[in-house]
Structure formats: C-alpha cells, structure tokens
Amino acid sequence: MIFDNFEVDGEPQVLEICPLMGGYFHVYINRRFVTSISYTTEGWRVHFNNNSWLTKDEADIMIELIKSEEIHTQ
C-alpha cells in the first residue's frame, strides 16, 4: 500500500508498505528501505534499520492497519 501527498520538514514523502510471505512487511520511504514489520510468536516486531522520521508511533499505526486488513497480506 502506498501513502503519498504528505510532507516531512517540507520534503515530499512517499511511504510504501509491501507485504511479504510469512507475516513480514517491508516499509520504504521514498523508495528507500527503512524497516520491516513481522508477526512472531511473541507478537508484532518492528526492526528499525535506518535513520528516518519513522517512530514507534507511526509503526503502531501501520500495525493497526495490517491487523484491520486495510493493508492486505499475500
């Protein structure tokens, strides 16, 4: 799912959440990989890999979208 038409610090942003097999999701900002989200036996995990404006609050929103199936899994 792609979210666009917003800015951070005056810069246009495109956020893309791509479902992968096995309960994994990759998150890209402006086509740059920033994190992955996965569902494990311990619950939801966010693996922050790069510096970006993305915080735990935004990751929690993405998890809620996944749980509500607004972001479709494969």
Q: Which residues contact 43 (CB under 8 A, 6 or more apart)?
A: none
Q: What is the pLDDT of residues 8-65, one digit of tens each?
A: 888 898 999 999 888 889 999 899 888 899 988 889 998 876 677 888 888 898 899 8
pLDDT of residue 16: 92
CA neighbours within 13 Å on the CB side: how many for 32? 11
pLDDT of residue 73: 67
| Pairing verdict, β 32-40 and 24-29 | antiparallel
**pTM given for the model:** 0.81
Domain positions in the chain? 2-67
Which pair of tokens denotes residue 68? 């509500």
Nearest to 25 by CA among 38, 16, 14: 38
Identify which has the larger pLDDT, 35 or 73.
35
pLDDT of residue 74: 60
